[in-house]
Amino acid sequence: MAHEETVYDALGNAQEDHGHWAFGTGFDEPLAGVDTTVPDGIDPAELGEYCLMLGDDALVLAQRLTQWITASPELEEEVAVANVALDLLGQARLLLARAGSVGVLGRSRERATESIPDEDALAYFRDADEFRCTALVAAPNGDFAQTMARLLVAATVRLAVFARLRDSRDPVLAAIAAKGVNELAYHRDHAARWVLRLGDGTDESHRRAQAGVAAVWPLLDDVFTATDLERRLTDAGVAVDPSTVRDEVHGVLTEVLERATLTVPAWPADAAPRGRLGEHGPELAELLETLQSLARQHPAATW
């Protein structure tokens, strides 16, 4: 075999299996070399479904955040939002790859050819009703104040869940969570400082921050309600029952809002899970249309 002359040749060879697939990086299996054996006593299909919930939250929030690119209030913020989205996209890739590693691929394989990696098949070739994200991440951005209020809430919830998932009995999930905690702490604190700056800013920024919080708070209604699957996996030591992070999340959000001179809205009453069971408003389908259109129209595209 002739040795590669340049790194580009090496990249070409490294990509032989997925060479024509351009929507993931195509360079790299995110779980290459990672032991994906499922420990005894854990139902692989349920583990995969749970990874879809966590992975879809990250994928959809990343896509929402990237909608600010070219539209952010300042250049540094544009870079920050893109960085946060990139971290979340990385978490999504690992979690969707974990779901794929245990065979949870939904109907994606009916459309995605074999050469498309699992995480790309799951991201690009499932319809909205197969997504397991909550409305908290799927809701439209609103203005910048509302976007930061949502990021604060979503990152606070995710950080609290991931901190506990570091002890998951699934070693892959535990490793993803341990890396994610370090990243999510940056995301939450960044959003919290914006809420503080806007809430305790001018009359107009205060008004917008309060309106943003008012728009986001009702989306918490099904965030802390566990599905039956989450309860079973929590009992098995794999998952985190979201109801157990409610007090911590409430405490963090209250602290930020009070410091920001904002009124803490009434906590919404618990509702039955919707997004986790695939029930979404039309905004998710609209978001996915943008996210998925290129992959679906040109499944062999390359650049």
Partner 1 sequence: MVSAPVTVDPWEVAAAVTDPELPMVTLADLGVLRDVRIEDDGAVVVEITPTYTGCPAMGVMRADLVLALHRAGFDDVDVRTVLSPAWSTDWISEAGRAKLAAGGIAPPGKAPVRATGPVPLQLGPTRRTAACPLCGSSDTEELSEFGATACKALRRCRTCREPFEHVKEI
The residue within the footprint of partner 1, chosen from 47, 53, 157, 252 (CB under 8 A), is 252
C-beta of 31: minimal distance to partner 1 in Å? 7
Number of residues that bind partner 1 (CB under 8 A): 65
- State the residue for tokens 């351009």: 22
- Which of 57, 118, 119, 183 touches partner 1 (CB under 8 A)? 183
Tokens, residue 210: 């309060």
- In angstroms, give the least distance from the CB of 37 to partner 1: 14
Nearer to partner 1, 133 or 229 (CB): 133
Residue 248 near partner 1 by CB under 8 A: yes
Dig out the tokens for 295 from the structure: 């992959």
The structure tokens listed for 266 are 């009434």
189 touches partner 1 by CB under 8 A? yes
In sign, the C-alpha dihedral spanning 91, 94, 97, 99 is: negative
How far is the C-alpha of 194 from the C-alpha of 106, rounded, in Å?
A: 38
Question: Is 93 an interacting residue with respect to partner 1 (CB under 8 A)?
Answer: yes
Asked whether 164 and 180 are in contact (CB, 8 A), the reply is: no
Q: What contacts 2, CB < 8 A, 6 or more positions away?
A: none
- Minimum CB separation of residue 180 from partner 1 in Å reads 6
* Residue number, 195 or 229, with CB nearest to partner 1: 195
Nearer to partner 1, 171 or 278 (CB): 171
Distances (CA, A) of 271 to 48, 100, 233, 242: 24, 30, 20, 13
Q: Whose Cβ is closer to partner 1: residue 233's or residue 260's?
A: 260
The C-alpha angle with vertex 177 and arms to 174 and 178, in degrees rounded to 5, equals 85
Residue numbers 129-168 binding partner 1 by CB under 8 A = 159-160, 163, 166-167
11 near partner 1, rule: CB under 8 A: yes
Q: How far apart are CA 93 and CA 32, in angstroms?
A: 12
Alpha carbons 144 and 277: distance in angstroms, whole number: 29
Contact residue for partner 1 among 172, 209, 223, 287 (CB under 8 A): 172
Q: What are phi and psi of 39, to 5 degrees?
A: -60, 155
Torsion of the alpha carbons at 143, 148, 154 and 159, rounded to the nearest 10: 170
18 Cβ contact partners less than 8 Å away, ≥ 6 residues apart: 24, 26, 115, 116, 117
- Lay out the site mask for partner 1 across 95-124 (x = CB under 8 A, - = otherwise): ------------------------------
Binder of partner 1 out of 111, 179, 206, 207 (CB under 8 A): 179
Q: Which of 52, 80, 233, 262 binds partner 1 (CB under 8 A)?
A: 80
Which positions from 12 through 71 interact with partner 1, judged by CB under 8 A?
13-14, 25-34
**Chain residues in the site for partner 1 (CB under 8 A):** 1, 3-4, 6-7, 9-11, 13-14, 25-34, 76-77, 79-80, 82-84, 86-91, 93-94, 159-160, 163, 166-167, 171-172, 174-176, 178-186, 188-190, 192-193, 196, 248, 252, 255-256, 259
